[in-house]
Structure 1
Amino acid sequence: MSQPRTALADLRDERGTQTARWRARSRVVLFPLAAYVATRALVLLVIVFGPHRQVRVEDVAGYKQTSSPATPGSLLDVLTSWDGQWYWDIVIHGYAASATNSVGQPVQTNLAFFPLFPQLVSWTMDLTGAAFAPAAVATSTALGALGVTMVHLLIRTIVDERRARGCVLLLCTFASSPILSAAYTESLALVLVALILLLLHRRAYLWAVPAVLLLGLTRNVVPPLLVVVLVHWVLQVRRHGRDHRRDLRLALLTAAGIVAVGLWPVLAALHTGEPTAYTSTLSAWPGFTGSIFRPAWVSTAMRYPAVGVLLAIGGLGLWLATRLLPGRRRWGPELATWAIAYPAYLLATTSPSFSILRYLILAFPLGLLWLPDASSGAQLRRQRFALWGLAATGLVGQWFWVTKLLVYAGAHGGWGYP
């Protein structure tokens, strides 16, 4: 005859269940945080010991100099250079009163830079009493940790744990991932993009609305997300038929996305009294072709047909991979659509430069291309070997990205701007 369970035994079982749940939840964050911390340590070593640590680049056309660093620059000097100087200017002096000069010609101003990141840095400065440089680097680094954790959770939820870890590893070792610790918006944008895709997958449409609006104040990357929302909506209707409550919420999310696209341009116009302040200042930057219907990449491809051929091959290869790769159905419509829409958006809106490496940080689902289904242990081992090989290659790439782009190495030692 079985003995009745005691209250102590029930308590032990409950504690055991809680411990198991805590361990399961901790595993969700331990790997991405460990990968992030380890690679950030390597990045710091590269910056500290990298050659030609010179950041006095006031003689470079178009470079904003808010603070004059030492030569060679310190760690914080390097991590707050380039666009970081513009954000520094925003925090210290506020936004420019006009996007044009005294004769009405568009000029480069800080109106080209979105306000949420500098606002977060300003709050960090107020809370801690720190100066801009340490506050900006700390804010970006913390947001980067949250971003890779969100990417892990997103891919773990949609695909599986193995591929989530693989994508996080490739993200943390990507050549331009040191930018996640610099005074740039990549970290914040990574958090918001991964969060929006996760909320969309979970059909938490109303929760995604504020995240989309915040992204509209962070980076101009909402348009490809609108494509993801529309594809998700169409598939929901096909699979589940009409649902007025769902459709209303998706309509609200779509409307929020449209508002987010124009949110900063409208705020810039209200601030300056110039209706085209944002687009005017953008036209003063290199790569502007004079028309949004003539993207810089297209102009380059017309001048250099080989570039066009390479872009066509790359685009076709990406599309075929998302259609034919073993296990691609595991991606779900959100990851698959973003993996195509975002690179296409980059080609339509950016100009050929090394900055494309930085922009590709947000194309993290492309890491799944290297992680197809494995039908045998041998295939899995080969896949792991290739994955670690890519990670090692990325770390080598980080050395060149930091020492040749992020750190200005002089007119003959550097490659350009990050």
Structure 2
Amino acid sequence: MLDMEEFLVLRDLFNQGLSISEIARKTCHSRVTVRKYIHSQIPPTPEKRSKRPGKLDDYKEYIDQRLQEYPLTAARIYREIQEQGFEGKYTIVKDYVREVRPKVGVPAVYRFETKPGVQAQVDWAECGYIDIDGSHRKLYCFTMVLGYSRMRYAEFTLRIDVHTLIECHLHAFHYFGGYPQEILYDNMKQIVLKRAPKSSDSDWNSKFADFFTHYGFVPRLCRPYRPQTKGKIENTVGFVKRDFFMGGKFSSFSDLNSQLQGWLSRVNSTVHGTTYEIPRDRFEEESLHLQHIDQALPYHNVREETRKVSRDAYVSYLGNRYSVPYRFAGRTCVLQISDTSFSVVVDSEKVCTHEILPGRGRVSRKKDHFEGLLSEILKQNSTQGARASCVLKFDDPDVEHRSLAVYDSFVEGEKR
């Protein structure tokens, strides 16, 4: 097909009086083509080519639906459609997600970078609810990110008390093999009870103060209502939700955390969007500057709760019953609870230890807790029986003792 310029050239030559054969020789077009266009009153219009089906076309409806349900990342979408058979490149998916995702403007901030081993950032976020052991419970996500390498750690929890917070820190320290000089936090009550203008002068939670004093790192508090102060962890929390949690399928709470560990291995081995380097590669340098976890004494993180031992020698914890030596029935005790077990303490004496049972309505009974109880009950019953079989004795009535002369005097009086 001729373009507009060629069409006008043919018409101009024809208007100059040239024959069709002469125009064909000058323009190298066939006489049929020349004859067609010099007699046409309508300029040529390019025919629209039929659009070839793209590799992403079959997946666009699925992508649109997923983005309407959750603000997922392009990387997450790419993994999902790969499982459905998509064979295209990631850039196609990224460009399409950028095109269809709603545009949201954000205020500019100044990015603060830290040196290796200097700082980590921590956050705890709510992630909705979970049905577990027949109850509807809140779900939380603990996250920690190292400031220099962007190496991430995360785990889901069912509690947000200070003991769980410390336990999550210990898990993160072992995951990294160490801990930095300082850690940046929100103003959460598990960390600080009353914030001072200078964070080091704040009134710290006593249990958490014992923890950071033990390991020697410095807690820092971000400015209130300034989430960008710890933007690295804020981005990590959102990334965990969008790239892992939202729309995921999990069979149990343990499966949720198990899949999360696999996700961490993948994202820590993928190029980071800010540094354009792989976190695990940068971590090789940062790990040399961390305080090694093995250099500090182990920290015993124990949560305590008060219970009363029942008359049948059991205590209750999380809907399950656990036996206690029978001699402590009716006594008040303290449960010292760790991650997977707890100890029962009565008057500073540790009387027994139990592994925490999953589920509800279950019983953990140890036979040695009841040894001697039956014989003691039988002994008590026999003693009570002996007391009940005693012979009842009656006291003799008081009788006045008189001499026979008194009675003789009564007889003589009657004869008269």
- Classify the TM-score, shorter chain: under 0.3
Higher helix share: 1
Higher relative contact order (CA 8 A, sep 6+): 1
TM-score of the pair, normalised by structure 2: 0.21
Rg comparison, structure with higher value = 2
Higher strand share: 2
TM-score of the pair, normalised by structure 1: 0.21
